[in-house]
Amino acid sequence: MAPTTSISYSTTTSETSQLTRPDSMARTKNRTRTNGVSEGKSKMSASKQSPEQLYASALDLVEQSQPEAALKVAKQLWSQVQNRGISEKLPAVNLLGEISIELGAVESARDYFEQAVQLDPEGKVPEALGGGAEKFLWLAQLNDEGGKQSVDWFEKGAKALQYEIAALEAGQVSGLSEEELLVMRVEKKRKLANALCGIVEVYMTDLSWEDDAEARCENLITEAMAVEDEASPEVLQTLASVRLSQQRHEDAQSALKRSLDIWIDLEPEDPAVPDFATKVSLTRLLMEARMEKEAMEVLHRLVQEDDQSVEAWYLGGWCQHLIAEGNKAIADSNQESAMDTGAGDTSSANQSQFERAMKGSRKWLKTALKLYDQLEYEDERLFEHAKELVQGLDMVLGPANEQAEGGDEDESEWEGIEDGDDTEDGDQEMADS
């Protein structure tokens, strides 16, 4: 879930949020409504609504996937409060920023959040009045320069969160029950850990050339791991990414296993399950760490969650291609050993596993390419790689013949993994749909 402005004009609310990249921003859910306004409806015309009612109406429209209508209401809200105090302007300008993100208007969103920074430069205005860290965390992701500028915004957000956490631990926040304070503390710490991980990612990409990049990453991930009482899946993924960059593959695998163990057996709607974009990133890390079986388990969940995801189908095809290559290498090695020792021929079973994994790979990749065209997806590198893999598979398997090979039923499964029967049946249904 993307960072959210969890405020109203008359009540204090809090909502778990998680940093995501701007290209994978989730729609805000379960916002608090005020003054009895719900489902975006009001008997009064917008011009007669109070700021509280306009704010609630705009949030409801966002929940109903009507960002254009929400923007109109939010602009009406801004026209009412733009000459008032900070506590009334901040919620409105943050809301405008978030709705702009929903509409893909990145420049407008950036402008609104920069206005919010001018109103609350250090993030010390109480969150109930529209202050806090969110605007800094958004700007860290939305700025067009990246690098040092992103780090600066993340650090401002982290500092604001540290201030808020200190206030909670010092008992300076009133009006909430002990349980509510505990939930808020957990949420703030998770945001802080994610902000620190955001800085790590910048040093692993834009600033990787700096002499102290590795040392900074190590210090930051150590700090992020210590922030929460129990490290979250997202933080453990970042730890794994750092370890992979250091060629410490066993440590990376250990971190990824810990991350998976937190949520893999939970129901999809459980709040402890990471969001879609985080799970996509996880599959890439699992593949890099040569944990293809675990990657396919996650990819199976992803295409169940969204069977229109080009990236999920592409990654599933690529992952099965890696599995097939691994099976072939094992088969070749076993065959050589059998020839040396005079043992029986095992090539037939190994070849069958290899072919099934290759057919599964081709099916998933073709699904990805089909969706790529249908959805006018924009990722040329993904398209070229998927097309290259399919061409190679056609050379090995021959052109796909649905009647001869059993059609979707044959190539929809992911193979080459033991104990995968139940999952294969699920994948077959998804590919047939």
Name the domain count of the chain: 2
Domain presence at residue 277: no
Question: How confident is the model at residue 366, as a pLDDT?
Answer: 97
Domain membership of residue 391 (yes or no) is: yes
Residue 107 within any structural domain of the chain: yes
The residues, ordered by sequence, that sit 6+ positions from 366 with a Cβ below 8 Å of its Cβ are: 317, 390, 400
* pLDDT, tens digit (0-9, with 9 covering 90-100), for 273-308: 999 999 999 999 999 999 999 999 999 999 999 999
> For 334-350, how does the pLDDT look when each residue is reduced to its tens digit (9 = 90+)?
666 655 555 555 566 66
Q: Which residue, of 99, 134, 161, is where some domain finishes? A: 161
Show the tokens assigned to 232: 């979250």
Among 130, 161, 192, the domain boundary falls at 161
In a domain, 425, yes or no: yes
Residues 157, 138: Cα–Cα separation, whole Å? 9
**Residues whose CB is less than 8 angstroms from the CB of residue 92 and which lie 6 or more positions away in sequence, other chains included:** 51, 55, 74, 77, 78, 81, 82, 130
Listed residues 101, 129, 161: the one ending a domain:
161
Report H helices in 173-309.
Answer: 178-204, 213-227, 233-245, 249-263, 276-288, 292-305
- Contact present, 177 and 155 (Cβ < 8 Å): no
The tens digit of pLDDT for each residue in 105-157 reads 999 999 999 999 999 999 999 888 889 999 999 999 998 888 999 999 999 99
Whole-prediction pTM value? 0.79
- Which domain CATH number covers 79? 1.25.40.10
C-alpha angle 66-72-75 in degrees, rounded to nearest 5: 135
Domain that holds residue 362: 314-432
Residue percentage of the chain with pLDDT more than 90: 68
Q: Is residue 179 part of a domain?
A: no
Residue 221 falls inside a structural domain: no
What pLDDT does 383 receive?
A: 97
User: Could you tell me if residue 59 is inside a domain?
Assistant: yes
| Domain-embedded: residue 45 | yes
